[in-house]
Structures are given as C-alpha cells and as structure tokens.
Structure 1
Amino acid sequence: MVTLKTFYILLFASALFCPLKAQQSVPHLESCTEQLKKQLDTVIRNEHIPGLMVAIVKKDRILFADGIGYADLEQHRHVSPHTAFHLASITKFFVAMGVQQLVANGKIALTDRIHDIAPEIPFTNPWEATDPVRVVHLLEHTAGFSDVELNSMVNISGKPLTGLDALEAVSNSLTVRWRPGIKTSYSNPGYNVLGYLIEKVTGMSWDVYIEQTLLSPLGMDETLFDRNGQRRPQFATGYDFQNGVHRPMPFYLPSGNGAGSALVSTANDMAKFLYYLLNGRADSSLLRPEDLTEMETVHSTLAANAGLQTGYALGNDLFPNNKKVSFRGHNGKGEGFVSWVFFNREAGLAYAISANAVVNLWPVSQAIEELLTQDIEAPKLTTFPLDKDSIAPLLGHYQFTNPKNERWEFFKRIFGHIELQHISGDKLIVDKGNGQIDSLLHMGNGIFRLQGDILPYFILARDAAGRPFFQGYGNGFYRPVSYSSVLIRQVPIYLGLIALAVYFLYSCVGIILTLLRKMKPIDLFIPLLPVLGTFSFLFAFRTMGLTDASHKELFASFNWTSFSIFAGMLLFAILVISSSVLLYRRWTYFNGRWFGVLLAFSHFFIGYLVVLLVINGWIGVPIWMM
C-alpha cells in the first residue's frame, strides 16, 4: 500500500510542476491535470484500487472528466468517461434536490408533518402529538430513526420493492428514539420514506420524477437509479480486496425503494451535474440559486438553532477536509464501491470521485484539492476568550447520546464519554480518555473549531429548557452526566473482561493440572466454559463482520451463516449459565476459601456482560427475523 511519505512526495512534485499563480491559463491547467492523472495512476496502483472515476470542475470550465484503471479486471476493460459507478448514499443528495424542487414549487413545505402527507407510513413516534416528524427531519436525519438493520440492508426478493411494501421492508428502523429535531442520527430508511413522499405528492415513481426534473434537463443521459440489481455493459464491477486478491462483489437490489442508495453515474455526467451546481441554469424546472442555498442550510437541530451551521443539511454535509476552503457534499459506500462528491459554490470548485473497491479515498481527494486550491490563501481566523463565569457551569463530564443503531452501537452510549475543561483564554480542552486530548478554539457564542481547521464544528450551549449540550465529532451529541454514573456503567464491563482474561489463564493451567490428575474435570469446566463461550462469541462476531463486508444477503434469510452468528452468540450465554450452575453445585467444596470468593466474583461480572448483551439484542435474537 502507498505510504503517507510516498503520497506527500507526489503532492510536492505536483506543487513544483504547477506553481501558484494569481491567474491561470487554460494550457497551464491542462498540464496540471495531466500531472494529476499521473499521480492518481500511481496512487491507485499502490492502493490496489482497480479503477477510479474522476470529475473535476471549476466555475468556468470542466477540468477533467475521465477514468483511470480498470472497470473490470477479468475483461481488462478500462474506465472511460462513460463507465458507470455505483455511488450509493450520494443518492440522498439527488433525492433531497427532488424534495427541494417540490418545496420550491409549493407542493410541500419543509415543516409539513409526515403523518399529514401520508398517514399510512408505518412509523412510530411517542412524541407525535407535540413533536411530530416533519419533512425537514427526514432530510437532515433528525427524525430519530435508527439506521437500517442487518436483515434489511439488501433486497433478496428478486424484484424491486415499491410503495408501502418498500417501507414495510425497513419498518424495523422507523421508530423514533428521541424527540425529533434535537440531534442528527444518520438513517438510510428515512430517505426511503422521502422517496415514498415524492411518489405520494407527484403520482410517479421517485426515480422517474428525479430523472424528468433533474437528470434529463442537465443531459445526464448516462445516469440512472439501479433498483433491480442487474449488471449492465457500462457498469464498473465492484471488488473486495482481501489477502492480495480482488474478489468481484454481487449487484444487490437496494434496501427498501432505493431512495437512499440506488444512484449510478459516470464521470461525464457528474461533471455536468457539478457544473450546474456551480453555475446554475435558467431552466425553470431546475433549482434556483436561492433553493441551493436553502439546501446548504441546517434547519432542525439544537446546534443549528444555537448558531452552528456546520452539520448535515438537506441531503448534504460540510466536511473539514481542506485547510483553505470548506467543501460541502456527500459520500457513499456500497458493495465494492466508495464515492465522494464535494463542492463549494462560492469558491467555484467541485469534484466527484468513485473507486470500484472499498478503500480510503483520502489520498485521491487531497491530490485533487491541491490542484483546485493552489491559488487560494488560507483564511486568517480570529478567536475570542472564554468568559470564565459563563463557561464554568457548562464544564464537566458529557456522554454520547446518538448512535446510528441502538442495537449494534449501544456501547457508544457507554464508552462515548468526554470531559470538557477550560484552563484560560480561548481554548476549550476536550479529554476523550486514553490520553486523547483535543484543544478547541473559541470562535464566539460558544462555537469552537479544532486547532488546524478553518471552520467550527463544535458548540457548547443550552437548549430551551436550560439543559447544556455539546455537539461535535461528526454530529455527535453529548449531554452532561456525573462521573460516578460513567464509572457505574463502565467499571462492571471492565471487571467482566478482566474476569474472562483470568479465566483464560486459569483454564490453561487447569488443563495441565487435569491431565496430571491434580484437578477434577468438573472443576476445570467452571472457568473453561465461559472461555469457550467467549471464543464462540468472537467467532460469531467475526463472521458477522465478514458477512457485512461481502455477503449482506445472508443476513436476510435463515441459512448456515446467519444461524451460526445467532448460535455462536447464544452459546456464550448458555456456557456462562452452565458454568454458574457448576459453581453452585461445587460451592461447598470452595466455600470458605478465598478461591471460591474469587470465582463467585468473576462469575458475577461475566454474568453482567451476558445480561448487558441480552438486553441490547446481541444474544437470543435471530438476525434473519429482526
């Protein structure tokens, strides 16, 4: 793989070849893009990227719209400007533009209640009477829905899902977990609901509507929404790179109605789209500049109401990738593809990249942004001192509260703990634990930026009820807690893990003692069974990760893989309970000995781990029936 050292050498070479200039001629830009293409060719070889789609646009011209590498390794088919890549979640930006068109035409409003537009949608909101789910909440991922569950990530029915059937397929994620409009939690099923709303309002399929009102006016004839999972001649093949081998990935039917993931496009078409974003069009069917500005505005979160405008807006987010200008856009990750679309309309810069392998696109992105921003100077930023009396009541320990999925990310609620400190001046210190400390610079009104960033991504404020909150680290939302409550939740888990480690060592010694007939086999099973259960759990967890990466369809039905994940996790609980029964039966032998007390202590905290996993749905829940 390419090293950072190699990558920076390439960037340095580019800087020498394309020096900074106040005014750039077209030949100069063309020479720079040729040099960039050579850099990217080196990067994809070293990063094991089969092929790369690239579209680079400035306000006055399309600089580059082409491909590098192979669209299909087996057929030795090269990527061309017309090779189609699956762009996954970038679909959401296009769906949001479709919704914004309806808003601009007066067909719906961002504040409309979902229940009023389509009362048949199967969602649950305990706060619906006072805090209903609105259109803007779906667009900004602030409805409180979970992300898609494992058994709903792909459609194995063999036909595209439409209408309410598509929403029923993801209904296990459509339960509101907190009052809508407080915080962001990324949810693919929320965009399935938006697709259905487009259909309800327009009377046509959501993808047909977007094709007619956006793609066709822009001449994006090579772009489509792949809702049937069929291979087409112009499609690039996605790959999974493992152990030095590229394995072709399947083409899945998308989850739900595909409104969160079905977009397929080419470098040629994405260049047209980006040029439109930067320049607009007089065509009345397209969004006006003021509509696009509305899409870049964050409306619904507590952080936005308190003044922070860096966050997920209407189908797009703001990214801190560059130290000269800010880029807004979306990224996508699907089976064998990873894609980024970034733009800055004010600066007149935009680019889209997609690789047909799940890799880190950061080196590619940085090389392109080096070209686009070489004649731009970094902004000079001003900070403001914090008022000690005002900041003091807001300091202390905070807990993370908004995981994407409550089942699989419950541990983030437990371990997502930070401490806010203020020493003096304009700095807010964030202690993330394990020696990780960030220094945030105050930009005024409780808004902060990370040292080295040009935009603020953090805010420390109070809600309408006067309760403090902190938002930062990728739209993470934190509430104040006492340190004792943090310890109460974390310490038993650490003790349970320590107990399992002790039992592992005890079992190793016990096996030897049993073979030497100095220990009874029944006493060996007391520590050995939890250890075997732990290995069973880890095997199931590993299988789940590998399946998620390359065979998601196996989650959606009963098969050996899905059953082995279920059984492996369940076996952990069964073996721990069996060990506890053995300890109880042998207690008279251990009673009065410090060793017996140690075993009981260990079993208690291992049992705590089992209960915690059962409560959070990791044990005893068939994945194919979630």
Structure 2
Amino acid sequence: MQKCIFFILAFQISTVCCAQVPKAINSIKDLTDSIAILVRKNNIPGLMLGITTKDSVLYSGGFGYADIKIKRPVTNRTRFRLGSITKSFMAIAIQKLVEQGKLNLNDPLKEIAPEIPFTNKWENSNPVRIVNLLENTSGFDDFKLNKMYSIDQKSYSTKKMMLLQQSSMSCRWRPSERYTYCNVNYVILAYIIYKLTGMEYDQYLTDNILTPLNMNSSGFNAWSRTPDQNVKEYSSSSGHLKEVPSVTLLPAAAGSLWSSSDDMIKFLQLFLKNGFPILKPASISRMETPTSSLAANAGLKSGYALGNEDFGRLRGHDGILGTCRSSYRYDRQSGYGFVISSNANGLAGIESLINGYLMKNKPTAGVKAQPLNIKEITPYFGYYQLEDPRFDLLAFVDRFMLVKIEVENDTVNFNIVGKKHKLLQTTPLIFIQPGSETAEIAFATNGDGKRVLIINKHYAEQVSAISAISWRIVMLLAGIFAMLSVLMGFGALFYFTFKKLSLKQLKIRVLPMISVMFLSWGIYFFMEVKKSNYLLYQLQVPGLISISIFLGFTLFGIFSILNLFIVFKEWTAIRTRLSRWIIVSISFSLVFICYVLLINGWIGLMTWTL
C-alpha cells in the first residue's frame, strides 16, 4: 500500500529539509545546530548521530532524550533499535563463511539445507540460491501479519525462529527474477549460519563482527533487555508523545541489532577501510553489487545487493522497528559515512541534510547519454503494471500503480499519474533520469517472454491498454458508487424521519451505507496498524484491532450480498427509473468490491491464524 506512494515520491525528491533550515552549513557545528532545529520542529524525542571518515570521528552523540520521563539524554553510548540494519551484519557473516570456503553464494538452498520447508515449482530450472536470500530475489512472501511482533518477551532458537516463518516460504515467481523486500530471507540465512557453524546466529555475529570491531555496547536482542542503556520508544499518533511497549521481534535475525553512535561509527569504518579487519576488499565490493535479479542481468548496477542498498552515490541500509527509524550511509570514494536513528517521528529528512553537507563540492560521476535507438525501444512502449508485491495480501493495491512508457520528440518518457518524466538512454535498453548519477530504469524480457520494466528497483509487466485502463475505471466507478451509497443512506434516513419513505424503501437505501460503514471500520483499524507498525503485535491474537479487521471486512461482504438480494426482492418498492439505476449500480459495485477483497484474502481475514 505504501509502495505506490513511495514509488511516486522517489522521482519527486525535493530539498524540503534544506528549506526548513535556511542557514548555510559550512561546519559540523552548523550541521548539528541545523539538526537540533529539525529535531525540535518535528517533535523527535531522541536522535542518535554519528559522522566519520575512515580514520577520524567527526561527530558522535545525540539530541533530545532516550527516556523523556527521567530526562535521560541521548549520548554517544545510548543504544538505539536499528532494525533492518541487522541485515548488513548478516550479509557480512555470510561473506565471511564464503571467504572461509564453507559456502558459495550460488549454492542452491535445497543442497545446503534440504530440511528447510520451502516450496518452489521452478526449482529444477530456477533454484533458490543463497544469493537470492541475500539480495531478496527468492520470490518468498514477507512475514505474515501475525508473525512480526509479539508482546511476550520470549526467545526462540535460530531453527524455531526459521520454522515460525514457514507459511511465507513459497516462491510466487521464478527466483532470480524480481527484487522484493523480504525479512523471511534473512531468517533462513540465520539458520544457514547455525547449520554451518553450530552457533546461534546472534552469538556468531557477536564473536565474528562485534568483538573484532570493538562494538562492545552493541548486541542482538529481539526486545529491550537492558532498558537503562536503550532508548524508550514513543508514539505521537495522538499528537502527544506517549511511551509504547518495546515489542518482541519474531523474525529476530532480520532486525535485532541495538547499537550506539560510537559503535556504529566503527561499523561504518569497516566499509570505508574496504572490509578491514573482517573481510577482504573483494567481499565488500561484492556486497555492493547486485547480480541475481533480472534487473542486474539486464545491466543495471543499482539496486539491493548483499544486505546493502544503493542511495544514489551512497550505499547503506535503512531500519524500521517499533517506533525507531534508522539509516546508515557511506561512500567509499569520498571516504565519508554517517548513521542516524530516532525513537519516534521518523528522521525528518535529516539524512539529506547530512549528505548535502558531506558531499558538498565533491565531484559527481557523470553518466554519458547515447542516441536513442527508437527501433529497439518501440516494442516496450505502452502500459506497465507493478507485479512485485512485498505482501500477497496487498498485491491488488500495488497493481493500481500504472506506468506508461511513451515517446515524444524523440525522447522516451515515463508517465505516472499524468506526470511525465524524461529518460536518457545510457546503454541499450538502460535509461537514466536527467540529474541522476546512476541508471535505475531498464527494459527486459522475463522467462515467460513478457516485456518488463524495472524502475527504481520495482518490477512491472507490460499490459494491454484495454486491460490497464478498463478495470481501473471499473474500480474507480465502484468506489464512487460506494461513497454515493453513504449520501443516499443519510438522505433516506432524513426522508424517513419526515415519513416520506416507507420502511421497505428505507431498507433498500440504508443497507448499502451500512455495508460501506463496516468496510470503513475494517480499513480504519488496519490503517492504524500500518501507521504505527509496533501495533502489529495485536494481530497475533484475537483482540480489539484484529477482531475489528475481521468483522469489518466480513460484515461488509455479508451485507453487500444481502443488500443485492433485498434489492431484487423488493424491486417494486423502488419507484423511479433513476432510483432503480442508482441503487442497482451501487449494489453491484459493492458486490464487485466484495469479490476483489474475497479473492485477495480480506473477507474472513483472521490475522491470528495466518
């Protein structure tokens, strides 16, 4: 659901954060003063910051409070919950095993660990390999809604943690075809580490990464085991900061790192020193180079590699866990890196502010455009629909995003929601946006012979104009009629109050409104969880949120069918032709929406049983 929004915004990045801080930034002090302003302005309770070169620390410390209640400040030793940044540590651990000859990135998973209960109908031609897990190209669904967080402070062995995610381990398309972010991949990698070394993943990472780097205040914990050293987590959904529980992460190997700015600076210097003292330079380079996806094979050098992602000229990883938001970035060429984390209200664009200061006056690597090969690109003109859902449950929402590739004045453009973006060809079927430093758009053909578009890491398949537009028009009309049912329902209640409608006429006009209200009820509670993802723990058991989602969507389905039945049963009670047309259109629209939700698993959704 959020993918569609981020997909648009990825091509409309502005300098909003800089506009908020007009002061020129010419020194680290200027930078930290500007960050302090943003922290206060965005009501961020506590922020950790570390900035370094490969040899010296430019800044290590924090802003605000780790614990608001007792006014405990954020310092260079305060431990933040860094979430998916853990994946970079997991990838380093795997690379270490590769260097030791215990593993090969191209090893099929089934040969390394045949006991892992995954399914892949393309296994003979396209097996799941270790590299697919690292680069998130396995095709597995991400965690189920009830298998992300728990409120119980319970530890699981590496093997049991892996088996807990079994319901997601089914390839939805050919491995090595599409990138889609998946925490389950890294839980499987943790089990691989355990099988090859005999050590639980957290102990292996501690002994082989944290200890050699002297990251002595860091650790891997599924929940906050040392609250006096860790940040408290806060939510501001009500407009005021409120402490929330430190939830237990069930796929812990994908995001259990707690660390401080002092320690994370040592981790950044590992990359800036080309892997010293843990990995060889070639292993670091491999971590930065995606190879397994269709995008990589088409020639794109950008994308998600081994627990390591590109952000323009920078590399790094982000982390979101509980209410903490984190990121680290580095550029080996310029020799700079930084890490940042907050315990509520995001990062407020502070990463862009830091990057702008660090990379100021640094030469950019230009990409030379080549003349457009119109004959080669012509078959790829047309409409493309996203087909890389992170969660199967939300796949139908992702598919609403439609991209049109067209040519105008001998220039290729991609059109999203009516806004055109110019593309420049760099190599055959590889394109870049003007002003970008790396190409992120490629055209290719998949294993089924379908033309595909890879754009900003997302995978989209070519569809006919009729299918691309027609069902979206149907969904749009269904949505309009659903909203119209609410107006009709309130209008009917008004007329019934003044005895201008019979009970039969009221029933026909109010039932659709009741159906939509049930749907709104279910959507509201689901969006509350999406907005404050720490609430996912409430989907693990029957409770207010999980039962509200179940009842909202299920009762919408029941009342939509009931309404259609009653409309035909009480047909004669609808007096005018216009009223009949509107009521029938509303009724069939609700049934159509019900059908879409049913085939996508929302009608009868009991999150605690997934």
Q: 1:458 to 1:516 in 2, by over 3 A?
A: same
Asked if 1:52 corresponds to 2:47, the answer is: yes
User: Retained in 1: the 8 A contact 2:213–2:266?
Assistant: yes
Give the whole-Å Cα distance in 2 for the aligned partners of 1:495 and 1:281.
Answer: 56
Deviation at 1:450, TM superposition (A): 2.0
Give the whole-Å Cα distance in 2 for the aligned partners of 1:558 and 1:599.
Answer: 36
Asked if 1:418 corresponds to 2:413, the answer is: no
Within a 5 Å distance, the mapping from 1:30-179 to structure 2 comes to: 32-179=27-174
Question: In structure 2, the residue corresponding to 1:196 is in which secondary structure?
Answer: helix
Give the whole-Å Cα distance in 2 for the aligned partners of 1:282 and 1:585.
Answer: 77
Higher deviation after alignment, 228-237 or 142-151: 228-237
Deviation at 1:347, TM superposition (A): 2.0
Q: 1:534 to 1:62 in 2, by over 3 A?
A: same
Deviation at 1:345, TM superposition (A): 1.3
The structure 1 residue matched to 2:501, chosen from 487, 507, 519, is 519
Asked if 1:458 corresponds to 2:469, the answer is: no
The structure 2 residue matched to 1:261, chosen from 255, 258, 265, is 255
Q: How many residues align?
A: 595
Higher deviation after alignment, 543-552 or 185-194: 543-552
Q: 1:304 to 1:356 in 2, by over 3 A?
A: same
Asked if 1:553 corresponds to 2:540, the answer is: no
What whole-Å deviation, never above 9, does each CA across 1:564-623 have from its counterpart, x for those lacking one? 221111111121122112112112444994532442233222201001101101111211
Deviation at 1:92, TM superposition (A): 0.6
In structure 2, the partner of 1:323 is none
In structure 2, the partner of 1:352 is 339
User: Retained in 1: the 8 A contact 2:87–2:186?
Assistant: yes
In structure 1, the partner of 2:306 is 314
Higher deviation after alignment, 62-71 or 213-222: 62-71
Amino acid corresponding to residue 604 of structure 1 in structure 2: F
Q: 1:251 to 1:514 in 2, by over 3 A?
A: same
Give the whole-Å Cα distance in 1 for the aligned partners of 2:576 and 2:34.
Answer: 72
Amino acid corresponding to residue 566 of structure 1 in structure 2: F
Q: 1:195 to 1:59 in 2, by over 3 A?
A: same
Give the whole-Å Cα distance in 2 for the aligned partners of 1:155 and 1:243.
Answer: 23
Is there any run of 5+ residues in structure 2 with no aligned partner, and where? 1-13
In structure 2, the partner of 1:298 is 290
Give the whole-Å Cα distance in 2 for the aligned partners of 1:5 and 1:95.
Answer: 34
Give the whole-Å Cα distance in 2 for the aligned partners of 1:530 and 1:169.
Answer: 40
The structure 1 residue matched to 2:549, chosen from 562, 565, 570, is 565
Give the whole-Å Cα distance in 1 for the aligned partners of 2:495 and 2:337.
Answer: 68
Deviation at 1:491, TM superposition (A): 2.3
In structure 2, the partner of 1:492 is 474
What whole-Å deviation, never above 9, does each CA across 1:536-570 have from its counterpart, x for those lacking one? 22122211222341422210011233112211111
The structure 1 residue matched to 2:354, chosen from 361, 368, 385, is 368
In structure 2, the partner of 1:270 is 264
User: Retained in 2: the 8 A contact 1:240–1:357?
Assistant: yes
User: Retained in 2: the 8 A contact 1:333–1:358?
Assistant: no
Deviation at 1:299, TM superposition (A): 1.1
Amino acid corresponding to residue 431 of structure 2 in structure 1: F
Asked if 1:225 corresponds to 2:220, the answer is: yes
Is there any run of 5+ residues in structure 1 with no aligned partner, and where? 19-31, 321-325
In structure 2, the partner of 1:470 is 453
What whole-Å deviation, never above 9, does each CA across 1:348-394 have from its counterpart, x for those lacking one? 111110111131441x1122123211231344442122112111111
User: Retained in 1: the 8 A contact 2:274–2:284?
Assistant: no
Higher deviation after alignment, 135-144 or 383-392: 383-392
TM-score (norm 1): 0.91
Amino acid corresponding to residue 512 of structure 1 in structure 2: F
Q: 1:524 to 1:49 in 2, by over 3 A?
A: same
TM-score (norm 2): 0.93
Question: In structure 2, the residue corresponding to 1:112 is in which secondary structure?
Answer: coil
Give the whole-Å Cα distance in 1 for the aligned partners of 2:150 and 2:563.
Answer: 41
Question: In structure 2, the residue corresponding to 1:116 is in which secondary structure?
Answer: helix
Deviation at 1:428, TM superposition (A): 1.8
In structure 2, the partner of 1:541 is 523
Question: In structure 2, the residue corresponding to 1:234 is in which secondary structure?
Answer: coil
In structure 1, the partner of 2:8 is none
The structure 2 residue matched to 1:10, chosen from 3, 14, 21, is 21
In structure 2, the partner of 1:443 is 426
Give the whole-Å Cα distance in 2 for the aligned partners of 1:106 and 1:367.
Answer: 42
Deviation at 1:462, TM superposition (A): 3.1
User: Retained in 1: the 8 A contact 2:177–2:446?
Assistant: no
User: Retained in 1: the 8 A contact 2:341–2:347?
Assistant: no
Question: What percent of counterpart residues are identical?
Answer: 30
In structure 2, the partner of 1:501 is 483
Amino acid corresponding to residue 402 of structure 2 in structure 1: H
In structure 1, the partner of 2:601 is 617
What whole-Å deviation, never above 9, does each CA across 1:304-327 have from its counterpart, x for those lacking one? 01110101001011013xxxxx10
User: Retained in 2: the 8 A contact 1:92–1:315?
Assistant: yes
Q: 1:535 to 1:9 in 2, by over 3 A?
A: closer
Give the whole-Å Cα distance in 1 for the aligned partners of 2:30 and 2:579.
Answer: 70
Asked if 1:479 corresponds to 2:466, the answer is: no
The structure 2 residue matched to 1:394, chosen from 375, 380, 383, is 380
In structure 1, the partner of 2:4 is none
